[in-house]
Every structure is written in structure tokens, then in C-alpha cells.
Amino acid sequence: MSITADSPSMTTQTTEALSFTNVGKRYGEGPFAMQGFDLQVSPGELVAIVGASGCGKSTVLRMIAGFESHSEGEITLDGNPVSSPGPDRGFVFQDYGLFPWLSVAENVELGPKQKGLPRAHRRDLVEQHLDLVGLGRVRDKYPHQLSGGMQQRVAIARVLANRPTVMLMDEPFGALDALTREQMQSDLSQIRRSVGTTVLFVTHSIEEAVRLADRVVIMTGGLSQGIPGHIRRIFDVTLGLDRDPTSVEFTDLERLISQEVHAQG
Amino acid sequence: MTALAPTASAEVREAPPRHEPAAPRRRRWSPRALLLALPVPIAVLVLWSLGVQFSWNLPFGIRMAQLPTPSQVGIRLADLFFGGLVPGPYSGDIWRHIWASLVRAGSGFALAAALAVPFGILLGRSRSVTQLFEPLINIVRPIPVTAWAPLALIVIGIGDRSAIFLVFLAAFFPMLISTSAAAAQVPPRLLEAAAMLGMKPWKRMILVVAPASVPGIFSGLRVGLGLAWALLVVGEMTGVNIGLGAMIMEGRVVSQIDLIMSGMIIIGILGVPL
């Protein structure tokens, strides 16, 4: 096992799934809430972003999604600058964001429908992705009939059915109980390996980040700190596929990251 | 008023409120509830009867002596429905008037709903539409329908169209306000979800905003339907010949107070389901 800290380094952009170059964000003419954000994410990589509240980690996701604009710099997806929201950037919300008047299958079908895919193709996509998240049995239920964990699985299936370039997850398991959360984490590892999607994952939990991510990005600053939000450090996580949160290597890395998150300045 | 229900729901049929928890159940009529429902109406009838008999003068200068007794009104009501008790043009002929009123209230309401719901959604979602129309709406909305009546009589003329127009006005604004408030409160999360799934902005109005606003739209439709019915009399004061409002106006002209009160009671009872 090795823990390497690498500074955000510039590489050739064409091989990146997702790239931030000197991205900054300010609201109106106010001070910068985020500045100098540089990050490259390779195809198939899962990058977790951790940091104190208000450091702008959710804003990073929302800027990629196109829900919020960035004030300077460039965000590119497969080399193309992003602007308005689109199906190439799927978003998994903490509060699921399912359409309560649509059944589980209809929620998953919504994306493919927007693309104008034929009915048979859509049905295949729905079946395939509901199976992927283990929810084939509840396809005709409505979201309010499902537990939080199941709703979040529907939300993941709904995003993946769109075959996005990147899946953006904003504290997706934050509202779930501990047991469900652990199950979801191990399922997510499996799902993203079988699908090969690039994932950008924002979380409060350092353990969750170490458990899931190929790299952990630590953000700091933010408007309340008086300095723009920025990346403090990036850790590579080289713990292999089956990670044991009780192992020495795991807890060492967790402690290191925790120190960085809580360090001042 | 059940005849109107299909028109009301047709507006929003693409979005049945399946996600809504079941509406609060109507009270079942237990024997106890039935027993408790009786004393107050009976007391009112008794007091009314006594008041007429002894010529009570009540606050507001209400002279009870002017009123017919409850039994006179009851006889008139029976005659309106079945005929043969009070000779005259209305004997046994009430169905025609009820039907005419239902059709007018229904048309005015349906027209108002058809315009208020889509316009309300736009108003709730678009800041520029709001800025364009809000001043006008705020000025026109407080004008009571009664104040429109003389203008409608002159500009539209005597007849059905005036009546329907006035009912339309009565129902339009509550439905507009309720729909636009509901549309403005659609959780932003649902619109973000639709956007990231690739849904075009105009489609989000129909496939997200409209269904998410269904509870608000329905409560607006309900209020609108109630007002449409309540303002029917005003609408029918514009010189139409058939209709419950017209009948009441005729009762005033010929000083048949039992006819007026019968019309009021029929309007009230038909309005209960609303």
C-alpha cells in the first residue's frame, strides 16, 4: 500500500473525462466563493470530494451539472465545455429527486424517453438498469412506497439508463441509516465497476470516501472562511478492491485525510 | 353539480395526483352525527315560524312580517318540483331552470379553468410573465363581479353570454392565483432532475410543473367551481329568462317572496357538493 499526495497537476486534456481548469465562482460582484479549482478526472475513475461545510464541494458538482454557472476558468466534459444541464451528466441528489407521480419504471424511462428512443429499446434499458440496482420487483411501485435506500437505487438506475459520461453524486447516502448506507456503498462499488462510469462523489464522511474512491480530493476555504474555496490536497487511494474499514492501512489513510480536512489555514 | 366534474378534471387529466395521500375522508353519518345534525335546522324553522307569526323586528331592520312562513315556502318548493299546488308559470317547471343554471355555471367555469390553469402555470414559473401581467391582475382582481354586471349588460348585451362571462370572471381569478402559487412552489429539485435527464425547458412545464402543481390546481378548481355557482344569480340578473337567478329576480318583480326563498334554498342545496 502506498499513500501518495499529488498536487493538482496539469495533464493533456483530451484523455480526461472531466476537467476543471482554474475554475472560479462568485455570486454577482461579491468575493470569490471558489477560485483556482483545477482537477482532472480520468474515464472510469471515482473521485470523492470531502471538506467542511461551505467549502463549495456541492457547488463543484452543480457547476458541472449546469445547475450553476462558473464565473471564470473552464469545465470540460470529453473536451467540450459544459453549459446548461444535459443527460451526459447524470446527477444523484441526497433527497433522490424522484418524480412522485411516476412509477419506478417510468422514472427510469424518463431519460431514454427524452432522447426519443423507441419503446422496445427503452424497455430494455429500464429492465437492465433496474436489475443492475436490484429493483426489478418494484418496477410498478411509486417512490413513496419505497424505503430511502430503494429510492436512491431508483435514482441511480435513472441516471445510468441515460448512459452518462459522468455520474455526479451529492452526498447520496447522507440521509440513509448506517446499515443501508454500508450496503449502498458496496453496491455502488460493484455497479460502477460493472458499468465503468466515471463518478464524482461528494460526501461528509471520510470513511465513505476512502472506502469508495480512487482518489480523495480535500477542499477547504469558502465564503465563511474568508478565502475562496479551493483544493488543499488530493490523496490517491490504493487499497485494492475489497477494502476493510478496520484494517490498519484504511484507518491510517482515514486519519491522514481527517487531519488535512480539519487543519487550519 | 356532478355534471361538471368531467370538465374540471379534463384540465389536468394527464397528471392524476396518484402521489397524494388519500384526501381526508368524508365524515360518515353515524346515528349520533345524524341526531346532532337535526336540532339546529329545526330550531331555525321554529324561530322563523314564530318570527313571522308575531311580526318580530330583528337587527338590521329585518321585518319578519314580510316573510312567508316555512310551510308556505315548503309548499312552493313542492310545487316547483311536482306542480299542482301553486298555479303559475313556475309550477312543476323547476328542472328547466336548474338545468339552464348548471349549464351556465358549467360553461363559465370550464372556460375559466381552461384559461386559468395554463396561464397560471406560466405566471408561476416565469418572472417576466409575472412582471408583465401582475399590475393588471392586481387591479382587475378586486373588482367584484357585481360591478362588472352593468358593463357586461351594455357591452355584451342581455342574454346567456353576459351571464356566462360573469361566471367566468368570478371563477377565473381564484383559479389563476391558486395555480400560479402552486407552480411557483414546485420543488426546484424536480426541475433539476428533469433537466439533467435531458428534458427540454418547455416540456418541463407540462411534464413536471403541471403534475407537481396538481394539488394546488385542484384546490383552485374547487374554489372556482364554488364561486361560479355562487355568482350565478348575479350572472342571471342580466335579463335571461330561464335559470334559478332569473327565477329569483322574477320573484322580486312580482313580489313573490316564497319564490325568491325557494330559489335561494335550491341554489344552496345544489351548492352543497361543491
Q: Which DSSP string corresponds to A132-193?
A: HTT-GGGTTS-GGGS-HHHHHHHHHHHHHTT--SEEEEESTTTTS-HHHHHHHHHHHHHHHH
Q: What is the pLDDT of residue B181?
A: 96
A211 and A237 together in one domain: yes
A58 and A174 together in one domain: yes
Rg (CA), chain A: 18
Confidence of residue B268 (pLDDT cuts 50, 70, 90): very high
Mean pLDDT computed over every residue of chain A = 90
Stated pTM of the model = 0.80
Task: Count Cβ atoms within 10 A of the Cβ of residue B274 and give its class: 0-12 exposed, 13-18 middle, 19 or more buried.
Answer: middle
Residue A93 is assigned to a structural domain of this protein: no
| Amino acid identity at A210 | V
Domain count, chain A: 2
DSSP state of B210: H
Q: What is the pLDDT of residue A13?
A: 41
Neighbour tally for B64: CB within 10 Å: 17
Confidence of residue B230 (pLDDT cuts 50, 70, 90): confident
Q: What is the pLDDT of residue A84?
A: 92
A156 and A254 together in one domain: no
A120 and A57 together in one domain: no
Q: What is the pLDDT of residue B52?
A: 93
Mean pLDDT of all residues in A203-223: 93
Nearest to B189 among A65, A93, A111 (CB): A93
Residue A94 is assigned to a structural domain of this protein: no
Mutate to test the interface with A, among B196, B204, B207, B217 (most CBs of A within 10 A): B196
For chain A, percent of residues with pLDDT exceeding 70: 94
Last residue of a domain, one of A163, A195, A219: A163
B190 has pLDDT over 70: yes
A6 and A83 together in one domain: yes
The HSE-up count of residue B185 (CA atoms within 13 Å, CB side) is 11
Interatomic CA distance for residues A81 and A256, integer angstroms: 34
Distance of CA A181 to the CA centre of its chain: 15
The residue that leads in pLDDT, B21 or B184, is: B184
Mean pLDDT of all residues in B107-127: 95
pLDDT tens-place string over residues A153-175: 999 999 999 999 999 999 999 99
A150 and A112 together in one domain: yes
For chain B, percent of residues with pLDDT exceeding 70: 90
DSSP state of B63: E
The grid coordinates of residue B9 equal 378534471
B206 has pLDDT over 70: yes
Last residue of a domain, one of A146, A163, A180: A163
SS3 of B39-57: the string is HHHHHHHHHHHHHHHCCCE
Q: Do A101 and B198 touch (CB under 8 A)?
A: no
Q: Helix, strand, or coil here: A5? A: strand
The grid coordinates of residue A228 equal 475562496
A9 has pLDDT over 50: no
A248 and A210 together in one domain: yes
Q: Which of A5-14, A121-130, A204-213 has the lowest mean pLDDT?
A: A5-14
Mean pLDDT of all residues in A89-93: 96
Q: Which of A68-72, B157-161, B181-185 has the lowest mean pLDDT?
A: B157-161
Q: Which of A11-15, A130-134, B68-72, B163-167 has the lowest mean pLDDT?
A: A11-15
A48 and A81 together in one domain: yes
A222 reaches B (C-beta below 8 A) = no
N-to-C CA span, chain B: 7
Backbone angles phi, psi at A8, to 5 degrees: -60, 105
Mean pLDDT of all residues in A220-249: 89
Mean pLDDT computed over every residue of chain B = 87
A66 and A180 together in one domain: yes
B2 has pLDDT over 60: no
A10 has pLDDT over 70: no
**Residues of B in Cβ contact (< 8 Å) with A59:** none
For chain B, percent of residues with pLDDT exceeding 90: 68
Q: What is the pLDDT of residue B20?
A: 45
| Amino acid identity at B214 | V
Last residue of a domain, one of A113, A147, A163: A163
B22 has pLDDT over 70: no
A135 and A214 together in one domain: no
The grid coordinates of residue A238 equal 490504493
Q: What is the pLDDT of residue A6?
A: 46
Mean pLDDT of all residues in B103-129: 95
B25 has pLDDT over 70: no
Confidence of residue B236 (pLDDT cuts 50, 70, 90): confident
A139 in Cβ contact with A130 (< 8 Å):
yes
User: In what helix (H) or strand (E) does residue B156 lie, and over which residues does it extend?
Assistant: none
Q: Helix, strand, or coil here: B256? A: coil
**Residues of B in Cβ contact (< 8 Å) with A89:** 196
Q: What is the pLDDT of residue B27?
A: 58
Q: What is the pLDDT of residue B5?
A: 38
The residue that leads in pLDDT, B8 or B62, is: B62
A238 has pLDDT over 80: yes
Q: Which residue has the cell 463543484?
A: A60
CATH class of B98-253: mainly alpha
* Cβ density class A237-259: b for 16+ within 10 Å, e for less: bebeeebeeeeebbeebbebbee
Cβ contacts of A261 within 8 Å, gap of 6 or more = A50, A51, A52, A206, A218, A220
Q: How far is CA B79 from CA B82, B83, B90, B93, B98, in A?
A: 5, 4, 8, 9, 15
A254 and A175 together in one domain: yes
Please report, for chain B, the start and end positions of each structural domain, with discontinuous segments joined by +.
Answer: 98-253
**Residues of A in Cβ contact (< 8 Å) with B216:** none
Confidence of residue A14 (pLDDT cuts 50, 70, 90): low
CATH number for the domain spanning A231: value is 3.40.50.300
Residue A130 is assigned to a structural domain of this protein: yes
A171 and A235 together in one domain: yes
Neighbour tally for A118: CB within 10 Å: 9
Shortest CA distance from B213: residue in chain A: A101
Q: Which of A233, A138, A156 lies closest to A197 in space, CA to CA?
A: A156
B87 in Cβ contact with B94 (< 8 Å):
no
Q: Which domain holds residue A238?
A: 2-88+164-262
Q: What is the pLDDT of residue A133?
A: 94
Confidence of residue B222 (pLDDT cuts 50, 70, 90): very high
Note the maximum CA span of chain B.
76
A222 in Cβ contact with A189 (< 8 Å):
no
**Residues of B in Cβ contact (< 8 Å) with A66:** 195-196
Nearest to B197 among A87, A95, A143 (CB): A87
